[in-house]
Structure 1
Amino acid sequence: MLGWALTFAVLAIVAGFLGFMSLAGLAATVAKVLFVVFLVLLVASFVIRAVRGQSVL
């Protein structure tokens, strides 16, 4: 999922550089949403593993 967020972030940068502002805005928004979802799932995974007594790293 982090890979998708990075892909959309690069797409937003390239689209902004080429002048496609609406596409750049949409890609940036998707990248932000995917990054937040990734972070939430990462934290949830750490918490679940810690509660089970497993190593979080």
Structure 2
Amino acid sequence: MIPLLLVLLLALVLFGAGFALKALWWIAIIILVVWLLGFVIRPATGGGKRGRWYRW
């Protein structure tokens, strides 16, 4: 009985970790796309130069 519970617990932990990692990958991809779009869509500054869209 105990080995069966341990296997079920391990399956539950691995399923939760897999879901969390997949969600983190999607969040990372979205952030990367927004970051790359920031380089394409930059506001122009007063001197005609392209400005930075971030402040750091």
TM-score by length of 1: 0.59
| Structure with greater helix percent | 1
Q: Which runs of 4+ in 1 moved over 4 A?
A: none
- What runs of 5+ residues in structure 1 fail to find an aligned partner? 1-18
1:39 and 2:22 correspond? yes
User: RCO greater where, 1 or 2, for CA within 8 Å and sep 6 or more?
Assistant: 1
Greater Rg by CA? 2
Matched pairs, number: 36
The share of aligned pairs that are identical, in percent, is: 19
TM-score by length of 2: 0.60
